[in-house]
Structure 1
Amino acid sequence: MWKGLLSFGLVNVPVTMVKATRSKAISFNQLRKSDFSRIQYKKVASDGAEVPASEIIKGYEVSPDRYVIITDSDLEAISPKASRIIEISDFVKLEEIDTRFYDNSYYLVPDQGASKAYSLLLKAMTDANVVGIAKFVLRNKEYLAAIRPTDNVISLSTMLFPDEIVSTKELENDLPANVELSDKELKMAKTLIDSLITKFDPTKYENEYQKQVIKMIEAKAGNEEIIKTTDTTPRYLDLMAALEASIASTKAASKANEKKKSPRKSKKTA
């Protein structure tokens, strides 16, 4: 996803960023019930007319039905400059970071020749129990990030900026107030909590719903409950298969043309 330098002080560590998570969400296509053809989405204006991509521009609504037009040039002029450096500006204690700030997770793995510098930073952060805070640019967007040791790997978590966090003060009117709790109620609740306290083991928790959906799909497929769509739009799921099919088709057409062009031999008379 990204290659560059992880920098702290005068030390630069060449690293490569890779995803630390993978999506396991199951997606479904929408079909028309009558003939199972795929549903397509088109961009249309308020009058219902379809709008081609060449006629679509960006607009920011400043008040109802009033927009400021934003061009690609406007955005390019102020976009952050691409950089190949993640520079740690501060180190903070892990427990000081509110978990609401964490967004997506990645691993930073050392590039060739960076093993010692990488190991040095990893060990030093682990011993000090600190997290590095940095800013970096990925795909023309600036990110705030937390760099920390995770299972003998340096991980990077993109973070939300403070103005992206919803303050709990905004929920004051929706939260209970002046609720009286008896000592007996509190004691019973604490006893129940104490009985459930254990070490966190993520392998204990599975997405049971997703497992049931996969099981149901497999059962339907096994019973041949499969319909054939009437969608005629060509969709090549396998690039090699598509290329091989094209080559075979071209060869067949070439042979047919050669047969047409070649002169027919006259029959010998007895």
Structure 2
Amino acid sequence: MAPRANWKGFLKVAELTCPVALYTAASTSERIAFHTLNRATGHRVHRQFIDTDNGKPVEKDDQVKGYPVGDNNYIVLEPDEIAAAVPESDKTLAVEAFVSCDDVDDVFFDKPYYLAPSDKHGEEAFALIRDGLAKKNAVAVAQTVLFRRERTLFIRAFNGGLLANTLHFDYEVRSAREAFSDVPEMKITGEMLDLAKHIIETKRGTFDPSQYKDRYEAALAELVRAKLEGKPLPERKPAKSEKVVDLMEALRQSAGVGKKEASARKGPARKAKAEPARRKAS
């Protein structure tokens, strides 16, 4: 059964237009979810909005949005006023530019969506856009109103279709300079850098997402299963304590240099001890 589209509209490149649909590419809906219960009765409980002054519950029809402008002072926004501020949608993904795949930092990526043709009449135009992007190793930057907000999307060829990532706006991305302001400037050279490069090279591989498991989700599933079956609850394994060691020695051990040197030193000693033992036996 085909997945349900999150959005349908048109992908437009200059005068070329094709009908498309967006599908969620990543979802957390398969995670284990819990309800909050009343411990005494076992019944589910629900949240209520409480007036902070009189402590009484506020019904949904009496709730309204407010923007804080001072201590206990708000500008009230009515639902129809907020709705009027939402930009009108013409359901068009209008491509504004083509850029290189390396032109956008990953920190701007928000949510991924699969973009596919929604009508057989648009399949040829869709394939033309997809193959053109793939051949030029380019990305289309487009804008549209998506889920009541204007969004910028980063569209590239992917597995026979198109992958569209919504992008964070510039004001949403925090400064990396502030995060790294306390990182001291130092340059690593010599054997230390050579060992680090060697470790990276020996552990080089390919990314296979199926090899990375959600251990927390698996532990929750095991816990729920044990409770259902009335079995003893799984014991939590103690965390390994990491020892702070000399950086150079840690690099050598990681690269296998320390082990090789140790075995080389132990080798002659073992032979020296073994020889008298054989003479005694004879």
Q: Same fold (TM over 0.5)?
A: yes
Q: Deviations over 1:162-189 (max 9, x none)?
A: 111011122244x321446453322222
1:87 CA drift (Å): 0.7
Q: Tell me the equivalent position of 1:116.
A: 124
Q: Tell me the equivalent position of 1:171.
A: 179
Q: Structure 1-normalised TM-score?
A: 0.77
Match of 1:114, SS state, is helix
Match of 1:113, SS state, is helix
Q: For residues 128 and 99 of structure 2, what CA distance do their matches in structure 1 show?
A: 18
Letter of the 2:167 counterpart: M
1:90 CA drift (Å): 0.4
Identity %: 25
Gaps of at least 5 residues in structure 2 are 1-5, 233-282
Does 1:212 pair with 2:208? no
Q: Tell me the equivalent position of 1:45.
A: 51
Q: Tell me the equivalent position of 2:18.
A: 13
Q: Structure 2-normalised TM-score?
A: 0.74
Query: Residues 78-89 of structure 1 correspond to what in structure 2 (within 5 A)?
Result: 78-89=85-96
Larger RCO: 1 or 2 (CA < 8 Å, sep 6+): 1
Q: For residues 64 and 94 of structure 1, what CA distance do their matches in structure 2 show?
A: 47
Aligned pair count? 224
Q: For residues 81 and 95 of structure 2, what CA distance do their matches in structure 1 show?
A: 30
Q: Deviations over 1:189-235 (max 9, x none)?
A: 2221222111222222121221222122123223399xxxxxxxxxx
Query: Residues 12-91 of structure 1 correspond to what in structure 2 (within 5 A)?
Result: 12-23=17-28, 24-47=30-53, 48-91=55-98
Q: Tell me the equivalent position of 1:229.
A: none
Query: Residues 83-102 of structure 1 correspond to what in structure 2 (within 5 A)?
Result: 83-102=90-109
Alignment equivalent of 1:3, drawn from 1, 8, 19 = 8
1:31 CA drift (Å): 1.9
Gaps of at least 5 residues in structure 1 are 226-270
CA 1:134/1:180 → structure 2, altered by over 3 Å: closer, same or farther?
Answer: closer
Q: Tell me the equivalent position of 1:126.
A: 134
Does 1:149 pair with 2:154? no
Q: For residues 87 and 200 of structure 2, what CA distance do their matches in structure 1 show?
A: 48
- Give the aligned CA root-mean-square deviation in angstroms: 1.9
Query: Residues 172-191 of structure 1 correspond to what in structure 2 (within 5 A)?
Result: 172-173=180-181, 175-179=182-186, 181=188, 183-191=190-198
Q: For residues 193 and 141 of structure 1, what CA distance do their matches in structure 2 show?
A: 43
1:95 CA drift (Å): 1.2
Q: Tell me the equivalent position of 1:137.
A: 145
